[in-house]
A = this chain, B = another copy of it.
């Protein structure tokens, strides 16, 4: 694909080659990197942080420390602000884990995802022989949510927290029983979960399962009191019709903060943990105190 062949929804917005980005380094306030976490962002974010203040949505949780290190070095050497791992998890969910655990140190927290579409799990099903198309939903178990909210701090297995529901379009004449077996026994993806498989037509998939909804819950319960006699439940939840559009909305709010941190020369790699909330809002400190505090 060339910049000339790319059709974007907003007319008259210029499109350039990523390879030519450096030429625009004095024209861009904040560069938003939309690449994938597996192979794009690990090299793109440090590279572009040489020339731009950047935001990325790197979401491989286990690799965040390494990614932070690489980006921090480039950002500091070049007096740039680089905010990584922005979105809702990592992102808003991380913030809620942090706030609730700082307030209730004597407690336990839980993250549930869904109901929502997992692209990775949908892809895994599509790679099975005889599968034409598939959509996988991750669903939190209502009984587990209730147990957590009760303050009993239950120990929950993977199976007890989420179920997986799969809508599969099979090729004509495919062995449905074999496909179902391959799905529910697939290690890492499905074997540790109670998984339901529905075979449906391509039309039905397109009609009822074309959206990319997602969401989830961060719940922390904790105790206070001279004899730990008081329970508290802090719950944050998201119910999103469009996972990518909400993620983009979070990123845009943080791009505003990155610009402001750059003005204050607060350079280096940052995460949502390092950003004072007021920096996200278009309102002034005075307006915020008057209208939202």
Chain B residues positioned under 8 Å from A105 (CB to CB): 282
Q: Assess A280 versus B249: contact at CB under 8 Å? Given A64-B293, A238-B232.
A: no
A186 at the interface (CB under 8 A from B): no
In the bound complex, CA of A288 to CA of B278 (Å)? 21
Q: List residues of A (67-114) whose CB comes within 8 Å of B's CBs.
A: 68, 85, 90, 92, 94-99, 101-105
Judge whether B237 and A235 touch: CB under 8 Å: yes
Q: Are B226 and A9 in contact (CB under 8 A)?
A: yes
Determine, out of A41-49, A164-172, A192-200, A267-275, the stretch whose residues face the partner at the interface: A267-275
Whether the pair A65, B271 counts as a contact (CB closer than 8 A) is no
Measured between C-beta atoms, what is the minimum distance from A233 to chain B in Å?
A: 4
Give the Cβ gap from A145 to chain B, nearest Cβ, in Å: 13
Residue A290 CB within 8 A of the other chain? yes
Q: In the bound complex, what is the Cα–Cα distance between A92 and B292 (angstroms)? A: 11
Closest to A278 in B: B273
A101 and B281 contacting across the interface, CB-CB below 8 Å: yes
Bound-complex Cα distance A286 to B236 (A): 24
Contacts of A253 in B (CB 8 A): 102-103
Residues of B contacting A233 with CB < 8 Å? 237-240
Interface string of A48-70 (1 = CB under 8 A from B): 00000000000001001100100
Contact call B234/A238, Cβ cutoff below 8 A: yes
Shortest Cβ distance from residue A216 to the other chain B in the assembled complex, whole angstroms = 11
Cα of A241 to Cα of B104 in the assembled complex, Å: 13
State which residues 257-279 of A face B: CB under 8 Å.
271-278
Which residues from chain B contact A104 at a C-beta distance below 8 Å? 249
Cβ of A231 to closest chain B Cβ, rounded Å: 5
* Chain B residues near A68 (CB-CB < 8 A): 289
Residues of B within 8 A of A205 (CB): none
Q: Which residues of B contact A90 (CB under 8 A)?
A: 293
The answer to whether B292 and A98 touch across the interface, beta carbons within 8 angstroms, is yes
B276 touches A276 (CB 8 A): yes
Selected from B65, B250, B274, B285, the residue in CB contact (under 8 A) with A274 is B285
| In the complex, A230 has a CB within 8 A of chain B | yes
Contact for A293 among B61, B238, B245, CB less than 8 A = B61
Q: Judge whether A246 is part of the interface by a CB distance below 8 angstroms.
A: yes
Chain B hits for A245, CB < 8 A: 224-225, 230, 232
Residues of A within 8 A of B (CB): 9, 61, 64-65, 68, 85, 90, 92, 94-99, 101-105, 149, 224-226, 229-242, 245-246, 248-250, 253, 256, 271-278, 280-282, 285-286, 288-290, 292-293
Given contacts A90-B293, A277-B277, 6 further A-B contacts (CB under 8 A): A99-B280, A103-B246, A233-B237, A233-B240, A273-B276, A274-B285
Q: List 9 A-B contacts (CB under 8 A).
A: A95-B277, A96-B236, A98-B277, A101-B292, A103-B253, A224-B249, A230-B242, A232-B241, A275-B276
